[in-house]
Amino acid sequence: MTTPYGKDVILIVDDNVITCEVIQRNLEIAGFHVFKAHSVADAVQIFSRQKIDLLITDYKMPKHSGLELIKYVRDHFQDICIIMLTGYGSINSAISAMKEGADDYITKPFTDKELLDAVKKNIWQRKAKKIDPKSLYNDAWTRFGIMGHSPKMLDVYSRIEKACKNDAIVLINGENGTGKELVARAIHYSHKVRSIYPFIPINCPGIPASLFESELFGHVKGAFTGAIQNRKGFFQAAEKGCLFLDEISELPLELQAKLLRVLQEKEITRVGETQFKKIDVRIIAATNKNLEDLIEKKLFRQDLFFRLNVINIDIPPLRDRENDIILLAQHFALKYAKELGKEEPVFTDKAIVALKKYYWPGNVRELENLIHRNLIMNETDYIDSVNFPDIMKYTISCGQPLNLSLEDMSKKYVRDVVEQTGGNKAKALEILKIDRKTLLKKLK
Ligand SMILES: Nc1ncnc2c1ncn2[C@@H]1O[C@H](COP(=O)(O)OP(=O)(O)OP(=O)(O)O)[C@@H](O)[C@H]1O
Ligand SMILES: [Mg+2]
């Protein structure tokens, strides 16, 4: 759902000018593009000119009501999210709004945060619902079979696009489970020429140093005890295709030197042989460590780093792409529901909040496992935070401003934990691992 503004577009309809303006300002600060109208007739005019993603409409308005506007929108635009604003105690109007096709309603008076949460939730749910697994390869939410729409992922896509047009070495950086291998495979299988040749992943620390050369470059019969016949190495097996050197940072220094020579000369010698063989292999390397730090500690060769770092792709951790979390969760829910022959589950509001707040140290893999586990273990057709691990239910936001002393931070953390555990001191003590006396002192 792209717009000329590159933002989601919201239309607010309320006959009260001040309400409209306050809502507009808050939503614009939150990054939305906002139009406003003070009557249903004005709103219909705007719909004829603008592509709208979400409508927020008041219920009671002079001449035509919000309900009539909902009917109009549902008759003409199926894809627009609708949130109805209803007065306190008017649950009946909320029900009729939902029956006419509103997605959600908020009761007045509401806080800025309540409205913003509802807007975000509805926009993301509608987008996630639109994902059709059959269209995974051309949907706007995914490229190369990789899901994600956050700005950082758009940068990853554009780098993959560059990488599959040439043979340059690619260095992929990212925490565990961020999708490094997925990106490497995407580059290989989107390459015009190489994609029909093998993609061979090698887990560098998995190969004993003593066998490294023979595994990578091959050996000839009799080269060492046990070499009973000639054997091709990975480089030859990947001929014309791609070698994926995973966890390259774990390679011992002496092997780094050997690898560097091969990358420079583009030729290998099998163990036990003196003859050079030309190779035509694309190299993609990946690491979850910062190679520049390792260079400083003399654990990684700078010259090898320069050789590898031609096209650099940094995959952001999941916690830094909040907008992708729900999209990915829905994607995995759909995938595993199909696999298990179940209905696609719905995510409860609490589940969505917990998923967005969590720190995701294991990144996408951890999210995938969580959803898979929930689908296997649950009999219900919804996913709720009650079935998430405790650590997720009690996560607090880590983006604290850097203006607190350690002592103040520690007090604040204690208060946050007590608040998050709903005032359950026993639970808070268990998490904080302090005694009751210290807890009471901190709370004071
Ligand atoms: N953007 C994404 N869209 C869909 N699936 C993803 C995405 N990112 C990761 N995954 C899935 O998450 C899992 C982990 O991805 P992958 O193995 O590529 O990560 P990695 O960075 O290589 O992990 P590690 O550092 O542990 O080796 C895989 O099942 C992969 O398909
Ligand atoms: Mg990996």
- 222 and 110 belong to one structural domain: no
Judgement on whether residues 17 and 112 belong to the same structural domain of the protein = yes
Tokens of 101: 């096709």
Residue nearest to atom 18 of ligand 1 (CA): 179
User: What separation in Å is there between the alpha carbon of 262 and the centre of ligand 1?
Assistant: 29
- The encoded tokens of residue 201 equal 């992943």
Q: What is the CATH number of the domain that holds 304?
A: 3.40.50.300
d(C-alpha 315, C-alpha 336), whole Å: 24
Confidence of residue 393 (pLDDT cuts 50, 70, 90): confident
Structure token pair of residue 393:
């239910």
Per-residue pLDDT at 145: 78
One domain for residues 20 and 71: yes
Question: Per-residue pLDDT tens for 403-420?
Answer: 677 888 888 888 888 887
136 located within any domain: no
Within 8 A by CB and 6+ apart from 316, the residues are 150, 152, 153, 156, 174, 178
Q: Lowest-confidence range among 35-39, 67-71, 109-113? A: 109-113
Inter-helix orientation angle 66-76/91-100, to 10°: 20
pLDDT band at 422 (very low <50, low <70, confident <90, very high): confident
pLDDT at position 88 is 62
Q: 158 near 89, Cβ under 8 Å?
A: no
What CATH number is given to the structural domain containing 410? 1.10.10
Do 281 and 367 belong together in one domain? no
Residues 306 and 335 in one domain: no
**What's the pLDDT tens digit per position in 329-346?**
998 998 899 888 888 898
Q: Which ligand is nearest to the CA of 174?
A: 1
Give me ligand 2 centre to Cα 311, in Å. Answer: 18
Residue-level pLDDT at 102: 87
173 lines ligand 1 (CB under 6 A): no
Question: Which of 365, 366, 368, 371 for a ligand 1 pocket mutation test, highest count of atoms within 8 Å of Cβ?
Answer: 365
For range 135-156, the mean pLDDT: 72
Residue 363 included in any domain: yes
Ligand 1 near 368 CB (within 6 A): yes
Helices 406-420 and 425-432: crossing angle, nearest 10°?
A: 140
Which-ligand-closest: CA of 172? 1
Judge whether residue 396 has pLDDT over 60. Answer: no
pLDDT of residue 424: 83
Residue 153 CA: which ligand 1 atom is closest? 1
pLDDT in tens, 346-388: 888 889 889 998 999 999 999 999 999 999 998 888 899 889 9
Higher pLDDT, 265 or 130: 265
Query: Model's pTM, two decimal places?
Result: 0.65
**Alpha carbon distances (Å) from 315 to 150, 172, 248, 312:** 11, 7, 16, 10
pLDDT of residue 136: 37
Whether 401 is in a domain gets the answer: no
pLDDT at 440: 86
Task: Give the pLDDT mean for 221-249.
Answer: 89
**Is the model's pLDDT at 259 over the cut of 90?**
yes
Closest CA to 30 of 144, 161, 152, 120: 120
Sorting pLDDT into bands at 50, 70 and 90, what band is 94? confident
Examine the fold and report which residue of 79, 99, 129 is the final residue of a domain before the chain moves on: 129
Residues 231, 110 share a domain = no
For the CA of 184, the closest atom of ligand 1 is 18
Query: Is-contact 418 430, C-beta < 8 A?
Result: no
- List the domain range (segments joined by +) for residue 412: 406-443
Q: What share of the chain has pLDDT > 70, as a percent?
A: 91
pLDDT of residue 24: 93
Number of structural domains found in the chain: 4
Q: Please indicate, yes or no, if residue 399 is contained in any of the structural domains.
A: no
- Average pLDDT for the chain: 87
Cα dihedral value 5, 9, 13, 14, nearest 10: -80
Is residue 37 domain-resident? yes
Question: Ligand 1, closest atom to CA 324?
Answer: 1
pLDDT tens for residues 173-189? 999 999 999 999 999 98
pLDDT of residue 402: 60
The whole-number pLDDT of residue 15 equals: 92
Q: Which ligand is closest in space to the CA of residue 365?
A: 1
| Distance (Å) from CA 269 to ligand 2 centroid | 28
